[in-house]
Amino acid sequence: MNWSEIGNACEAIRSLCGEPVPETLQTHEVAFKIAGNYGFNIIYDLLMIAAAQMAGCTTFYTEDMQHGQSVGP
């Protein structure tokens, strides 16, 4: 892709996904709670799940979870 195409793709993603959730102490606290409740142990995955929850996402696609698995707060 050329730079113009990359810029257009990034703009489309931003318009579909909304504002990113920053990584904060609260994100880490939510991630640690998820780890304790569900036994996940990879911090990067936990932080992404925590950020998705904090952003109000209802669907999260990853190869690290079982199909249809639900993770609450």
Domain presence at residue 51? yes
- Does pLDDT of 65 surpass 80? no
Number of domains comprising the chain: 1
With a CB cutoff of 8 Å and minimum separation 6, the contacts of 23 are 47, 51
Cβ–Cβ under 8 Å, residues 71 and 34: yes
Q: Cα–chain-centroid distance for residue 52?
A: 4
Domain presence at residue 29? yes
Give residue 56's pLDDT band: very low, low, confident or very high (50, 70, 90): confident
What is the reported pLDDT for 11? 92
Domain presence at residue 10? no
Cβ–Cβ under 8 Å, residues 54 and 33: no
- Does pLDDT of 67 surpass 70? yes
5-51 tens-digit pLDDT: 999 999 998 898 877 778 899 999 999 998 998 888 888 888 989 99
Domain presence at residue 6? no
Residue 71 lies in domain: 22-73
Dump strand ranges (E) for 1-73.
Answer: none
What is the reported pLDDT for 73? 60
Domain presence at residue 11? no
